[in-house]
Amino acid sequence: MKNLWFRNMLDSIALQGRELIGLDNAERSQQSIGTLCSQLLAGRGEASGIALSQEILRRYSDLNNADKLSFFHILAMYFSPDLEAMQMAFRRYQKSLSAEDLIALNSTVEAPRQELFRRLNMAPEGTANLVSLRADLLTVLTKNPTLKSLDADLKHLFSSWFNRGFLQLHSIDWKSPAYILEKLINYESVHAIDGWDDLRRRLLKDRRCFAFFHPAMPDEPLIFIEVALVQGLSSKISVLIDPHAPVLDPALADTAIFYSINNTQKGLRGISFGNFLIKQVLTELSAEFPALRVLSTLSPLPTFADALHRWLKQTSDHQPNPMFDSILSSHHDALKQASVEPDFSTTLTDKDRLQNLFDDHLQESNVVASNVLADLALAHLTPSDQQKRLTDPVALFHLANGARLERINTFADMSLHGQAISYGVMVNYLYDLRDVEVNHEAFVAEGKVRLSDALDKKLRQFKKSAA
C-alpha cells in the first residue's frame, strides 16, 4: 500500500513537471533522447526532473535494438569523465594533498552518466527500468567492448542500490499473491515448473520457498530458493519435484534440501546477494525446525559434460584435468569388460569405451558408468595444482559460501537437460553452521575445497595413483 501511494505521488509530480517544462509541445517532442539526458543533468527542479526522467525512460523503451545500441554509445561517449578536468584536479591535489582538492578530484573522476542514472532512478518504476536497460546492455557488450565502462557504472550503482541492507526476505506460499506465484513459474530456470498444480506441490507444508525483494521493485522476486523438508540426504531430483510425491509431516523431517536457486533479473548479473539469501534461509529454517540435523543442497553440475566432452575429443582449446587420464586408467578392466569389442582388429581405447557407454543411453543399472562418472566428477570439482582454479559456477557459489562437498550422485537428474549438462550427475553441498565461516575463509583465501571424509579419502587415492 505504501509503495502504491508513493508511485501515485511520483506520477502526480511527473504530470505537473510535464506541464511546467512543456514536454508535450511539438518542439519539445522532437528533441532527441540524448538532448533530454543533457537537460536532465543540467536541471535543478524536482518536478521537471521526474518528468524528464519518466520521458527518457519511456522513449528508451520504445527504441528498437539498433537505436538502443546507438543510445548506449551516446552515453559512453558524451557522458564520460572530462579528461582535461581530471588531469587539472589531479595536479592540484598532487601539490596540496588537501581534503578539499581530493573531493574535487573525486568529483571529476565520476562519469556524469552516474548522476544521470541517479536522476533517472527518481522516475516512477525508475529502478526497474534501469535494471531492464542494463539487461539490454549486457546482450551487446561482448561485441561492443567500448561500452564496458558504461556497464561498470551501472554495476557500481546497483551494488549500492541493491545492498543487502535494502533487501527484504519473504516466505512465499500458496496464499501469496497470484502475480508473485506466476512469476515463480516463469522465472524457474533450474527445474521447470509445469503449471499451477506442479507449483502447488512445491509450496505444500513439507516445502519452503524464500525470496529477496527490493522496496523499489516490490512485485519482483530478485532471487528465490526452493527447499524440501525430507528424511535423509536426497540423491535424486525427480523425487523432490514429483507433483504427486507424498507430503511429509515437517515435524518428522531431519534434513532440508535446497534444490533450486534462481536469479530472476538479467540486469542484476554480477550483483551478489545469493550468499546472503542462503545464510538467512539457513537461520530461518534452523529456528523454525530445531530438529533439522542436515542443511544441504542437491545441485546441478553445469560445466561437467562440456569438460568431459572436450577431454574425450581432445579439443585443442581445452587444458585437460590431469587426473582424468589417471582415473580412466584405474577403470580400464571394468570398461573393457563392459564394452562390446568390434569384430575387426581395431582395438578400442579406454576413452572410446567410455564414450560408447555415454552414447548408449545412460541407465541406472550401468554400474561401470556410474563409478567412472563419480570419480571424474570429483576430479572436476577439485582442481589440480596445474589447473589452479575451479570453473563450475554452482560449486564456486556454494563453496565460497562455506559449504562442503558432501556427496556426488550419479543418475540424479536423468531429464534431457540433466543428461546434457552433466550426464545426470548432481552434487550435495552441505552447510554446517559451525564450519561455514572457516570453510569460506579457506576457500576464498587459499582455494581449498572442504570435502566429506569419504570424498577426501577417495581424492587422496587419486592423487597417490597419479603421482
* Catalytic status, residue 299: yes
DSSP SS3 for 389: coil
In order of 90, 369, 421, the CA distances from 356 in angstroms are: 65, 10, 17
- Residue 183 host element (H or E): helix 178-187
d(CA 358, CA 413): 15
**DSSP designation for 269:** T
Residue recorded with cell 542500490: 161
Please choose, from the candidates 392, 132, 152, the residue with its C-alpha nearest in 3D space to the C-alpha of residue 264. 132
Cell reading at 259: 534444490
Cα Dmax for the chain = 89
Task: Indicate which residue of 191, 214, 380, 398 is catalytic.
Answer: 398
Please report how the helices 393-400 and 436-446 are oriented relative to each other, as an axis angle in degrees rounded to 10.
120
Whether residue 90 contacts residue 159, with contact meaning beta carbons closer than 8 Å, is answered with: no
Backbone angles phi, psi at 180, to 5 degrees: -75, -45
E strands, 141-288, are 168-171, 207-213, 223-230, 255-263
Measured CA to CA, the distance from residue 259 to residue 228 in angstroms comes to 7
DSSP code at position 147: G
The residue from 48, 234, 299, 370 that is catalytic is 299
User: What nine digits make up the cell of 226?
Assistant: 526452493
In this structure, the number of other CB atoms found within 10 A of the CB of residue 428 comes to 23
Residues 22 and 31: their CA atoms lie apart, in Å, by 12
Q: What positions carry a catalytic annotation?
A: 299, 398
